[in-house]
């Protein structure tokens, strides 16, 4: 082989090696890009799952849309919380209950504070009860409606008269999609109740809205002491017992707490602890 041919052969071999190295580098870059894309997609899917999945405490307004899965600052939430000004139409059953119904209060766990359950038996399903929740933020007058949920009203009055709610904080606030303030656990964790449970008193096609009082639960027929105030939107299924309404004066107090936002602590259930703390000082039964 002549020297020219040797040089041409060497140059050809060098070019082939360079092309092979370039192809290998390009293949590695494609692999890294695909892997990065997969990781980003998986992270996004996981994030959406935890933002939208409901769950959490023993007595949550569970199954409801999540408000947020990350901690939000007071400033950012104040600018994003939009609260409707109009009340929802007053709740009413499509078919009235009998004049009296039978209530059963079943033992369930240890009470957050010492309290006996109400007596089992017949209670009235007629008339209303006026009450006032005194808080560190102001008074929240409420009207309890026996025609909606007589066993629930009977339990609420019983707990109020036993001072069960005194000192209890409202532990959970949700501001986006589901707009509600949840209260009723004297220990403020969302996992405690009065040591008894009772059945749901729901009906079909409940349209939850601003001004409604409804029971929180951890599943069918697990009502206890926890309840929530709807101050805005609430696209919930009809599985939370509505037992009364909050006055306009009371809604102003709740609105003030809602506008201050929350800490995002309940990432799975939605919402968090209110940034503007609100505690029950007394629940007074008027009639």
The rounded distance, in Å, linking the Cα atoms of 185 and 269 is: 16
The rounded distance, in Å, linking the Cα atoms of 175 and 192 is: 23
- The pLDDT, as a whole number, for residue 13 is 64
CB 224 within 8 A of CB 105: no
Mean pLDDT of the region 145-151 = 98
Angle, alpha carbons 272-193-131 (nearest 5°): 85
- The pLDDT, as a whole number, for residue 2 is 54
- The pLDDT, as a whole number, for residue 110 is 96
Considering only residues 80 and 3, tell me which one the structure prediction assigns the higher pLDDT.
80
* Cα 49–chain centre separation: 15
| DSSP code for 165 | T
Angle, alpha carbons 40-42-44 (nearest 5°): 70
DSSP track, 106-152 = EE-S--SS--PPPPPEEEE-SSEEEEEEEETTEEEEEEEETTT-HHH
Q: What percent of the chain has pLDDT over 70?
A: 72
- The pLDDT, as a whole number, for residue 28 is 62
Mean pLDDT of the region 143-158 = 98
In this predicted model, what pLDDT tens digit does every residue of 27-81 receive, in sequence order? 666 655 545 444 444 443 333 333 333 333 445 554 343 333 333 334 344 447 8
Q: Is the pLDDT of residue 216 over 80?
A: yes
Residue showing tokens 């799952």: 49
The rounded distance, in Å, linking the Cα atoms of 144 and 246 is: 9
The rounded distance, in Å, linking the Cα atoms of 239 and 63 is: 9
- The pLDDT, as a whole number, for residue 256 is 97
The overall average pLDDT reported for the chain is 83
The rounded distance, in Å, linking the Cα atoms of 258 and 276 is: 8
In this predicted model, what pLDDT tens digit does every residue of 224-239 receive, in sequence order? 999 999 999 999 999 9
Instruction: Report the predicted TM-score, pTM, of the whole model to 2 decimal places.
Output: 0.75
- The pLDDT, as a whole number, for residue 14 is 59
The rounded distance, in Å, linking the Cα atoms of 203 and 95 is: 9
In this predicted model, what pLDDT tens digit does every residue of 94-140 receive, in sequence order? 999 999 999 999 999 999 999 999 999 999 999 999 999 999 999 99
- The pLDDT, as a whole number, for residue 107 is 97
Alpha-helical regions (H) of the chain: 3-52, 74-80, 150-161, 248-259
Contacts of 16 (CB under 8 A, 6+ apart): none
Tally of residues, the chain: 287
Mean pLDDT of the region 196-207 = 97
Considering only residues 77 and 204, tell me which one the structure prediction assigns the higher pLDDT.
204
The confidence band for 268, taking pLDDT boundaries of 50, 70 and 90, is: confident
Rg of the chain taking only CA atoms, in angstroms: 29
Residue showing tokens 């009207």: 143
- The pLDDT, as a whole number, for residue 240 is 98
- The pLDDT, as a whole number, for residue 47 is 35
- The pLDDT, as a whole number, for residue 66 is 32
- The pLDDT, as a whole number, for residue 53 is 33
Residue showing tokens 């007074």: 284
């Amino acid at each position: 082989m002549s020297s020219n041919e040797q040089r041409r052969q060497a140059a050809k071999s060098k070019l082939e090696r360079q092309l092979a190295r370039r192809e290998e580098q390009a293949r590695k870059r494609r692999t890294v890009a695909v892997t990065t894309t997969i990781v980003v997609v998986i992270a996004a899917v996981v994030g959406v799952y935890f933002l939208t999945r409901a769950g959490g405490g023993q007595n949550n307004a569970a199954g409801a849309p999540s408000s947020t899965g990350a901690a939000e600052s007071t400033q950012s939430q104040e600018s994003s919380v939009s609260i409707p000004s109009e009340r929802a139409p007053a709740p009413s059953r499509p078919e009235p209950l009998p004049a009296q119904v039978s209530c059963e209060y079943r033992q369930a766990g240890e009470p957050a504070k010492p309290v006996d359950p109400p007596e089992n038996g017949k209670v009235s399903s007629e008339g209303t009860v006026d009450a006032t929740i005194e808080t560190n933020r102001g008074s929240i007058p409420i009207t309890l409606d026996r025609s909606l949920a007589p066993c629930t009203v009977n339990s609420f009055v019983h707990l109020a008269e036993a001072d069960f709610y005194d000192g209890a904080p409202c532990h959970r606030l949700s501001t986006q999609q589901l707009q509600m303030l949840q209260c009723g656990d004297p220990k403020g964790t969302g996992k405690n109740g009065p040591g008894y449970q009772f059945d749901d008193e729901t009906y079909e096609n409940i349209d939850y809205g601003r001004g409604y009082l409804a029971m929180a639960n951890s599943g069918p027929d697990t009502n206890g002491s926890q309840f929530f105030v709807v101050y805005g939107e609430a696209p919930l299924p009809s599985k939370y017992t509505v037992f009364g309404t909050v006055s306009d004066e009371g809604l102003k107090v709740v609105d003030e707490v809602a506008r201050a936002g929350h800490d995002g602590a309940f990432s799975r259930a939605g919402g968090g602890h209110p940034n503007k703390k609100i505690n029950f000082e007394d629940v007074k039964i008027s009639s």
